[in-house]
Structure formats: C-alpha cells, structure tokens
Structure 1
C-alpha cells in the first residue's frame, strides 16, 4: 500500500506546535482496505521542548471528551523516538502518497518536528502530499463525523476514519457509476468507522 493517512494532535495550530500524538494507517483508496497502523503518544514535557503551545488550543482541549484528553497526556515516548519510528513505517517514502486532513497543518507541523527534533528534512516528497479536504470538496460531499468505534481527536482513530471516507470519495470520483451502497471493504472496517 503506497498511501498513508496521517493525523496528529497538538497543543497549537502554528507550524511549531508541540506534537502530542501521531496516528497513521496504510490504505488502498481503490479498495478501501486499511493496512498497518502506527500510533505514538509523546511525553508532554518532551513535546514542549520542541514547540510552543498556544492558549486557544489549550482551552479547546479542555472542551474535548475525557477519552481524547486522556490520550493526549498519557504519552511516554520522546518526540525524537516517535518521529524515528514514523520514519521506519516505510522503508522508502519516495513513492508514498501522504494524506492529511489538512496537509498545511499535519504535514507542516510534522516537518517542523523532524527538523527541530532530529535535524532532518521531511521523510516524504512534497509532491506526494495529498489533502482530504480537497477530495471532499471535489466530490461535493461533506466528510462524515467519526462515529461508532472511534474516539474523535484520537490521532489513530481519526486517521482510520479519514482513510475510510477518502477511499469512498476516491472510488466515486474514479468510477461515478459504482454502486456507493455496496461496501468497499469488510463491514467491520469501513462501515463501522463511518457508522453505516
């Protein structure tokens, strides 16, 4: 699978935001199949060494679900290790299409993290970055809210959810005659994530 959906949770919205969690899942948009998963929760104290939080985001976190709040403060992994582990998610990132719900957010903050924590350039090629919001707009459909088996604002759950609906829209755009009511993967994977 040469597509990966990445989602992060942070303590800010600027490129230098502290990264709290990183979630990723390999997926095939042609079939909707989800593959290998990646999740790291970063130690908050360590995250703060590499980024600057903002007050508005901290206030926002206080309004989120208890499960989401607990997940972002439970991390024990140093940022350097989490980013090195993400690098190892593929042996060669040159051909990998990297998706984010807003690449200007997720990818930009991760790229800053790679530079700040590891003194490395991004692991992906900039021309391989893809945007969930763009495919949703082109399809004319709104992305569904996370439902069922996931926790909203858990980086891995959000990444799996985004991969599922991007796959649906991808298939619809590539083959408009395709029966969208037919599942594109086993019901336990995509339909559960979409709450269908």
Structure 2
C-alpha cells in the first residue's frame, strides 16, 4: 500500500504553520484504476500560530498571488493542528491494517517537504502520537519523476484546484502510477 501526502503551509521550513493536509492511498500497479481512501484536514492558521508554528512573509506573498479558490480553501481551516494530526494517524492506522505485511510506502513531493514538515510539527507539539510512518517508509516523488521524465502538470484532473492539499496528493499519486509504468515497474495497460 502506498500513501501520498501533501501539505499546504505558511512557510517552506520545518515548523511552519500547516494550513491543510491531504493524503490518498493508492496502488502504483493499478493503471487507470481508482485511487483509494482519502484524508483531508483544514487547520486553523491562528491555532498554529498560538502553538508556536511560524509564518514566512514570502510564502504569504506567494499565497496572495494564487487563485482565489485555492487561497480561500487554504485559509478556511477550523481544526486544531492536533485534531488534524490525530486524524492523519487514524487514517494511516486504517490503511496499515489493510496491508498483508503492515508496510506502507509514504510519498511526498520533495525529500525536504511535506513529510519533514509534518514530523517537525509532531515533534514540536509533543502530543500523544508521533508521525505514523517509520524511517524506512518515506519516498520522494521528485526523484521518481525525474527518472521517469514525468511532467506532473499532466496528471491534474478537470475541476481539481491546484494548491489544494488533497487535489495535489491525488495528482501526485496518479503521476507515481505513470512513473511506475514508464520505468517498467508496473504492467502496461494491455498486459492486464
């Protein structure tokens, strides 16, 4: 079982406020198959700030240049960061139970991005749960897409809002499936 994670944040450094978390389960062996279970949480930026998470001015400026739909969705969160993290842990627990070996492959778009950001927030908040993956499970899409010569922009579907954590996770999961095909790691559609 594979899970793609995407976060929208108020900075690019670990410890930045997380606005939303999107995650989708998928099987890279399934060409054009449906993606699996999903998780989406929208966090209150005010709650994040009260918890000592940080804001980067250049990221705020970047958000101001994004489409209204994406920006309004990103800043409409009401959950506490703890609620979002507990929900993410529950999602991972459910997905892990669906595997035969208990192993998940956890993807993010960048080695120093979403997974690292989440791990830092789990650490800083010192809550009763920790990041729901172990050190062997994280995977990096940027390396995979480079090797497979995948153009990520080709995998967004009509109606999906760019810079929405769940929509971006779906897009990235579809691109991983395509990369597996391109690299011969999954059967081609006509081989099924």
Query: Per the shorter chain, which TM-score range?
Result: 0.7 to 0.9
2:60 corresponds in structure 1 to 58
SS in 2 for 1:102: coil
Distance 1:175 1:10 in 2: 32
Please name the residue that 2:183 is paired with: 173
Change (3 A) 1:16 1:172: same
Runs of 4+ in structure 1 deviating by more than 4 angstroms, as ranges, are: none
The one-character-per-residue Cα deviations of 1:75-116 (angstroms, maximum 9, x if unpaired) are 110000100000000224861110001131100110011112
Report the counterpart of residue 192 of structure 1 in structure 2.
Answer: none
Q: Which residue of the partner structure matches residue 107 of structure 1?
A: 115
Segments of structure 2 that go 5 or more residues without pairing to the other structure are none
1:39 aligns with 2:2: no
Question: Would you say the 8 A contact 1:17–1:52 is kept in 2?
Answer: yes
Asked if 2 retains the 8 angstrom alpha-carbon contact of 1:87 and 1:123, the reply is yes
Structure 1: stretches of 5+ with no match in the other structure: 185-196
Cα distance, 1:177–1:37 mapped onto 2, change above 3 Å: closer
Q: Name the count of aligned residue pairs.
A: 180
Query: 1:141 offset after TM fit, Å?
Result: 2.8
Correspondence list, 1:82-121, <5 A: 82-91=84-93, 92=96, 95-119=103-127, 120-121=129-130
Deviations 1:114-161 (A, max 9, x none): 112244442201211111111111112322253412000000000001
- Say which SS state the counterpart of residue 99 (structure 1) adopts: strand
